[in-house]
Amino acid sequence: MNKPLFMHIVDRLSNEIQYFRRKKDGLRRISLSPLQKCTAAIRVLAYGSPADTVDEYLRLGETTTRLCVEIFLEGIIYLFGDEYLRRPTPADLQRLLDVGEQRGFPGMIGNIDCMHWEWKNCPTAWKGNILVGTLNDINVLDRSPVFDNIIKVQAPNVTFSVNGREYHMTYYLTVGIYPKWENFIQYIPIPQGPQAALFVQRQEAVRKNVERAFGVLQARFAIVKNPAVFWDKVKIENIMRACIILPNMIVQDERDGYTQFDVSEFQQGEDYGSSHVDLT
């Protein structure tokens, strides 16, 4: 995370979240600065370290650090969640379709997979009620709001063509465990012939994007790589939400710096690509 982005987060939190505002206690002593509190929270999230490891570096006790992390997570979700955890807009959808078409999959808007996060401190009374394998990929998909817009007939109208045939339903690349829905394009377990083998090769190459995304998420924020040590499910959910929002902010901030390809190749527009989103 670049310093300007971090300072932007600190400024927003200090201006809009009461806990991060600097004030005086009953003895007229100045409280901890917003920079100290945000730095402590980021270090715990990034390194997955216990709350008492920042006491010497930032002069925060374990209880204060834990409170900083909890309120920092709530502040990130409250201030930036609507912007960085929103559904794709029609313009975003058009960009995803252009990228998918460039990679050989017209109508593709992404990949679907499931990442598991161990809950180390799951209450003992609950362990007997949670069967092994209960939250597999299919059950997680059933709880996911990914297709809510389609069910409610609120999704943007999309048109793309493959081999001269026109389609109006976008799709995701998945593995074989997912159901055979119209929105899922699965791999071929035993490809027969060169065309099927080429499809499997391309499909697996593109589908690796979601696994790379999980890897980047865990590399940036070790707290979601290590087993969760919090006791409250709401706090665990806030950790995951905030750790998804922050990488999205980092990507937007650093996108121009690490892009190694010509972005104009993915901005084909209506004259070149076969995938179009109704922007009206």
- Per DSSP, the residues of the chain read --HHHHHHHHHHHHHH-GGGS--B-TT--B---HHHHHHHHHHHHHH---GGGGHHHH---HHHHHHHHHHHHHHHHHHHHHHHSSPPPHHHHHHHHHHHHHTT-TTEEEE-------BTT--HHHHTTS-TTTT-HHHHHHH--TTHHHHTT-SPPEEEEETTEEE---EEEE-TTS---TTEEE--SS--SHHHHHHHHHHHHHHHHHHHHHHHHHHH-GGGTSPB--S-HHHHHHHHHHHHHHHHHHHHHHHHHH--S-GGGG---TTT-S-EE---
Residues 19-31 have a mean pLDDT of 80
Q: What is the pLDDT of residue 153?
A: 66
pLDDT tens sequence across 225-253 = 888 887 788 888 899 999 999 988 888 88
> Is pLDDT at 128 greater than 80 in this prediction?
no
Q: Is the predicted pLDDT of residue 124 greater than 80, yes or no?
A: no
Domain final position from 69, 84, 99: 84
Confidence bin at 270 (pLDDT 50/70/90): very low
What pLDDT score does 215 carry? 85
pLDDT in tens, 178-196: 888 888 888 888 888 888 8
Same domain, yes or no: 78 and 198: no
Q: Are residues 206 and 109 in the same domain?
A: yes
Domain count of the fold of the chain? 2
Q: Are 183 and 152 contained in the same domain?
A: yes
pLDDT class of 269 with cuts at 50, 70, 90 = very low
Res. 154: pLDDT tops 80: no
Q: Note whether 94 and 223 are same-domain residues.
A: yes
End residue of a domain, out of 65, 84, 103: 84
Band the pLDDT of 256: cuts 50, 70, 90: low
pLDDT (mean) for 38-53: 87
Residue 268 confidence (pLDDT): 47
Q: Are residues 109 and 210 in the same domain?
A: yes
State which residues form the domain around 9.
3-84
User: Same domain, yes or no, for 169 and 194?
Assistant: yes
Do 99 and 66 share a domain, yes or no? no
**Shared-domain flag, residues 101 and 80:** no
Show which of 34, 59, 84 is a domain's final residue.
84
